[in-house]
């Protein structure tokens, strides 16, 4: 008997006991819906977290001058600064898929002035390039970002944070645009106001003045200043690989010999991301385990249904054997029927799971996800459960004596 005929007969058997088949399919569908739905939701939450943390700079690391520790104070080599030429070489030569930005601190305690108004003397003035806002997670609230010409020519323009707007422009960012202010002794035109990021215990991310890097080089920096290089990757899981690539390139740029210690350091900002992803991994494992247990429970129910089906169809089995059906054919027929019921339940459950999972994704602001791995994995697992659930009933049906089966009422 061909496989297509077996499948056709299996559909006929399902149709003859429609209510019981629907109940069994529904039990399996609920199990696979729980599995696919939860895992899709977790993927959506991961995507949302990754996007949020990326905007906070958690997908980035900094290549910087070695921070001097007590044990290093006598070692002048580890205090070697990163020059503009080294930073520029790194930016041009780093070929790992990532965004690279160069920045330099002009002043940690700058004062900004507008007419008679003056900011507190604790503004962080930074020189930045065209990639800095994306890597640092800043957005423009009003006005515009630096143009390429602003950066290259070192024009006297500035982007300011919300804290400075509050102090100098009475909390009115629209008023600040196109106003000339003094950043220490440098007159700059405000071309943009940064969207608020909030402040931490040690740093107010809104109390900043961002200047073109070439302007800062001309006005503020000397030969003792060091540049910082920030690298942002798309996925926090790639930080270690990108970090190793950065170390190798920086060693080559600084001409360090094999075995010689690094005279710079890599500062990663992925601790929060790794902690959250690690915790989500445990949730994923627990959800998978719960879904598998649910499916095995559905498999037990399916086995019971198949045993009932064998008992109800004993006479039918006897007739099939009497007209030439072998035990192997009967066994295969019941196995196909069991697998078919399980796979139909899996397909229905996958459909419901995708809907449930993406409902969570919409609530978290994530994209619409189609979890192909979980779809194929869930259907395959359903087929496996159907095979296990139908194995004993199929063996029992195949072992029935045809004469006794024909006399069965």
Residues 190-225 as b or e (16 or more Cβ within 10 Å = b):
bbbbbebbeeeeeebbbbbbbbbbbbbbebbbeeeb
- 144: pLDDT confidence band, cut at 50, 70 and 90? very high
Contacts of 254 (CB under 8 A, 6+ apart): 80, 86, 263, 264
| Mean pLDDT for all residues in the chain | 81
pLDDT per position as a tens digit, 393-404: 888 888 777 666
53/280 Cα distance (integer angstroms): 14
Report whether 130 contacts 146 (CB < 8 A): yes
Report whether 156 contacts 188 (CB < 8 A): yes
Asked if pLDDT for residue 361 goes beyond 50, the answer is: yes
Task: Return the SS3 of 230.
Answer: strand
Residue with the larger pLDDT of the pair 140 and 402: 140
The mean pLDDT value for 118-127 works out to: 92
Asked if pLDDT for residue 201 goes beyond 50, the answer is: no
pLDDT per position as a tens digit, 75-118: 555 568 899 999 999 999 999 999 999 999 888 889 999 988 99
205/290 Cα distance (integer angstroms): 43
Structure confidence at residue 257 (pLDDT): 87
pLDDT per position as a tens digit, 21-64: 888 888 888 878 877 887 777 777 766 666 655 555 567 888 88
287/80 Cα distance (integer angstroms): 51
Structure confidence at residue 78 (pLDDT): 53
Please provide residue 65's backbone torsions phi and psi, each rounded to the nearest 5 degrees.
-60, 145
Residue with the larger pLDDT of the pair 240 and 178: 178
Asked if pLDDT for residue 337 goes beyond 80, the answer is: yes
Q: Tokens 């010999």 map to which residue?
A: 257
Cα dist from 33 to 290, 346, 348, 356, 378, whole Å: 12, 8, 8, 8, 9
101/105 Cα distance (integer angstroms): 13
Instruction: Report the candidate in 103, 89, 66, 92 with the shortest Cα–Cα distance to residue 217.
Output: 103
Q: What is the DSSP string of 358-401?
A: HHHHHHTT------HHHHHHHHHHHHHHHHHHHHHHHHHHHTS-
Instruction: Report the candidate in 38, 103, 106 with the shortest Cα–Cα distance to residue 295.
Output: 38
Number of other CB atoms surrounding residue 62 within 10 Å: 18
238/243 Cα distance (integer angstroms): 8
Number of other CB atoms surrounding residue 265 within 10 Å: 15
The mean pLDDT value for 179-208 works out to: 83
Host H or E run for residue 110: strand 99-110
pTM equals 0.54
Structure confidence at residue 79 (pLDDT): 63
């Amino acid at each position: 008997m061909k496989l297509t005929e077996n499948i056709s007969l299996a559909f006929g058997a399902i149709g003859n006991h429609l209510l019981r088949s629907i109940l069994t399919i529904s039990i399996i569908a609920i199990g696979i819906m729980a599995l696919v739905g939860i895992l899709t939701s977790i993927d959506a939450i991961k995507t949302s977290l990754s996007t949020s943390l990326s905007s906070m700079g958690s997908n980035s690391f900094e290549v910087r001058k070695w921070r001097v520790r007590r044990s290093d104070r006598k070692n002048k080599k580890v205090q070697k600064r990163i020059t503009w030429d080294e930073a520029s070489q790194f930016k041009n030569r780093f070929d790992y898929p990532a965004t690279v930005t160069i920045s330099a601190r002009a002043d940690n305690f700058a004062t900004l002035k507008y007419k008679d108004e003056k900011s507190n003397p604790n503004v962080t003035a930074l020189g930045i390039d065209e990639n800095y806002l994306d890597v640092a997670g800043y957005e423009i609230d009003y006005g515009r970002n630096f143009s390429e010409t602003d950066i290259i020519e070192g024009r006297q323009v500035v982007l300011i944070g919300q804290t400075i707007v509050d102090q100098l422009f009475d909390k009115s960012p629209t008023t600040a645009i196109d106003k000339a202010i003094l950043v220490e002794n440098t007159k700059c035109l405000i071309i943009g106001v940064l969207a608020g990021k909030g402040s931490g215990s040690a740093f107010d991310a809104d109390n900043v003045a961002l200047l073109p890097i070439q302007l800062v080089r001309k006005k503020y920096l000397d030969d003792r200043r060091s540049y910082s290089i920030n690298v942002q990757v798309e996925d926090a899981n790639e930080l270690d690989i990108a970090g190793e690539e950065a170390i190798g390139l920086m060693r080559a740029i600084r001409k360090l010999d094999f075995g010689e210690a690094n005279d710079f350091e890599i500062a990663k900002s992925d601790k929060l991301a790794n902690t959250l992803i690690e915790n989500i991994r445990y949730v994923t494992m627990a959800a998978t385990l719960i879904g598998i247990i649910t499916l095995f429970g559905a498999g037990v129910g399916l086995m019971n249904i198949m045993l009932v089906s064998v008992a109800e169809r004993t006479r039918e089995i006897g007739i099939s054997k009497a007209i030439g059906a072998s035990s192997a054919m009967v066994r295969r027929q019941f196995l196909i029927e069991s697998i078919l019921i399980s796979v139909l339940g899996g397909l229905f459950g996958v459909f419901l799971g995708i809907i449930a999972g993406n409902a969570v994704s919409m609530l978290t602001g994530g994209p619409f996800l189609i979890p192909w791995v979980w779809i194929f994995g869930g259907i395959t697992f359903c087929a496996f459960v159907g095979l296990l659930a139908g194995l004993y009933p199929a063996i029992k049906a195949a072992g029935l004596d045809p004469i006794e089966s024909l006399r069965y009422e």
